Structure 1
Amino acid sequence: MLSPDNRKIAPAPAMDPSDLTIGDLLDALADHKDKPLVFRYGGCPVKPGYHVTEVKVGKFSALDCGANPESWPEIFVQLWDVDEGGPVHMPAGRFVAIIRKVADHVALDQAARLTFEVSDGIRPMELHRATQPTLVGGIVEVELSPRPASCKPRDRWLEEQKAANASCCGTSGKPCCS
């Protein structure tokens, strides 16, 4: 793929394996429609009345710190952490229905990077990534953690080094070449 100035766009580094895509999340919730869905961030659960206030789809083009053009899709789910919806958390099926309704109007790349924007309406919005949901005592929990910054050229270099070491060393037990 070429950028507008005809330079080749560098492939985005592989997503952090702890990151979740929207497809992963919907698949994980499919069998738990009636169970409460609780997002956790900063060591605390969202309040029972939280709202999904917005779902945004972005296709980004950028220039990284190594002057490499970058391009990637990303889906943002905005959570408003308020206590206005009653004594229980939203069922997983309702969350899935919200995302499906968005998908009726906006194309959702199931493999796109997923970012949660979270705010209680007072503090500034924070960007988070999600891990695989877990079932804890009849509740589906999704842990959110702050999305860290990264250096894409460095990330690609580290991936190349890991691949080179794996192909060099394999699982033979021989000392690795460096």
Structure 2
Amino acid sequence: MNTLQAMGWQAFKERLQQDADQVLQFQYGDGKWVEASYHITEIKQAPIVSVDCGGVMNSWTEIIIQLWEPGMKQAERAMKVSKALAIIDVVEKSLPLNPKGTVKIEFGNSRFDTRQMYPGQFISEGENLIIDLVPDFTQCKAISRGGNCGTTADGEECCAPGAAVKPKVQLANLAVAPSCVPGSGCC
């Protein structure tokens, strides 16, 4: 089970404000970096409403920061955190973002399929603020409520306590006479 605590939008912004003069870098894998010439192309707010396998409705909001690497390198050095904060200010003038929304960073390039990742560790190193990106993951909400996921020892299926009881079906042998045997002429 993944123990990553998702970061809320307000906490994310406050963390950036602590190092506004540093250069903002993103690492998406061991030794894999978003090119310094990246752009923040958009910030999306996505309200999510779902029904899980136990029949329970869930809702939350995601704030997704999209990064893009231009085809040709445009800068030797990534943007400063203060520039990213200025972009956030422009966005929030038009779109008030949920302060409790879960932050995700969306990124991909020709060597890395586009995906949404969580901001993991923030590392202040010299003049750089490095955000180490952590892959998104799937989860079963029924388990977090104390249910189970999959088949239980008694053969019941997913997921939540009190899930609808499925009737057991009794199978019977429907053959009425010996079936086709060699020499009987039935084949």
- Shorter-normalised TM range: 0.7 to 0.9
Q: Computing the radius of gyration over CA atoms, which structure comes out larger, 1 or 2?
A: 2
Q: Distance in 2 between matches of 1:121 and 1:34?
A: 30
Q: Distance in 2 between matches of 1:147 and 1:17?
A: 10
How far off its partner does 1:27 sit?
0.6
Say whether the 8 Å CA contact 1:80–1:121 is kept in structure 2: no
CA deviation string 1:62-94 (max 9, x = no partner): 111111111111111111134633110110011
Structure 2 unmatched ranges of 5 or more: 148-187
Asked if residue 69 in structure 1 is aligned to residue 57 in structure 2, the reply is yes
**More RCO (CA 8 Å, sep 6+):** 1
Q: Distance in 1 between matches of 2:120 and 2:128?
A: 15
Asked if residue 37 in structure 1 is aligned to residue 24 in structure 2, the reply is yes
Flag the structure with higher helix content: 1
Q: Distance in 2 between matches of 1:63 and 1:129?
A: 23
Asked if residue 106 in structure 1 is aligned to residue 95 in structure 2, the reply is yes
CA deviation string 1:85-117 (max 9, x = no partner): 311011001111111111111110111111111
TM-score (norm 2): 0.70
How far off its partner does 1:124 sit?
3.2
Q: Distance in 1 between matches of 2:136 and 2:47?
A: 18
**Equivalent residue of 2:138, what SS?**
coil
Say whether the 8 Å CA contact 1:25–1:132 is kept in structure 2: no
- Identical amino acids, percent of aligned pairs: 25
TM-score (norm 1): 0.73
Say whether the 8 Å CA contact 1:76–1:117 is kept in structure 2: yes
Q: Aligned Cα RMSD in Å?
A: 2.1
Q: Distance in 2 between matches of 1:17 and 1:110?
A: 19
Structure 1 unmatched ranges of 5 or more: 1-15, 159-178
